[in-house]
Amino acid sequence: MTPFGQRLRDLRQERGVSQKDMAKAIGVSAAYLSALEHGRRGQPTWDKLQRIIQYFNIIWDEAEELQRLALISQPRVTIDTGGLSPSVTELANLLAMRIEDMDQETTQLFIGKLKLLPPRRKR
């Protein structure tokens, strides 16, 4: 499940809405909505994201948070380390090989450390 999928499911359950009813209201299939919640589909298109935001009638900070979650919810990630240091390539490969073995505490530690990095520079 992706961060966006989890939040989408939470919003739907908080409001007591079925996948089928929500899917019909926003013009997608229930299968698509299920796949989005379970992380089997990537980020929703801008249009679909806006329909979801309108469906739940959320505004400002909550809408921005949902958009942020959509941006970080790509279930299949490719990391290009070309031109970067060997240690960066090693990190990317070790993470790819061991991510399934990481417990929640270690995962949160990595997330916390990465969020402390300065904004990304253009290559």
What are the sequence ranges of the domains in the chain? Answer: 3-71, 78-123
pLDDT of residue 1: 87
Mean pLDDT, consecutive 10-residue segments, the chain of 123 residues?
A: 94 96 97 94 92 94 94 88 94 94 95 91 65
**Under 8 Å between Cβ of 3 and 69:** yes
pLDDT score recorded for residue 123 = 55
Rounded to an integer, what is the distance from CA 17 to the centroid of its chain? 21
Give the CATH fold of the 3-71 domain: 434 Repressor (Amino-terminal Domain) (1.10.260)
pLDDT of residue 18: 96
| Distance set, CA 1 to CA 58, 73, 103 (Å) | 22, 9, 15
Q: For 99, which DSSP code?
A: G
The pLDDT assigned to 119 comes to: 85
Say which residues have a Cβ less than 8 Å from residue 119's Cβ, sequence separation at least 6.
none
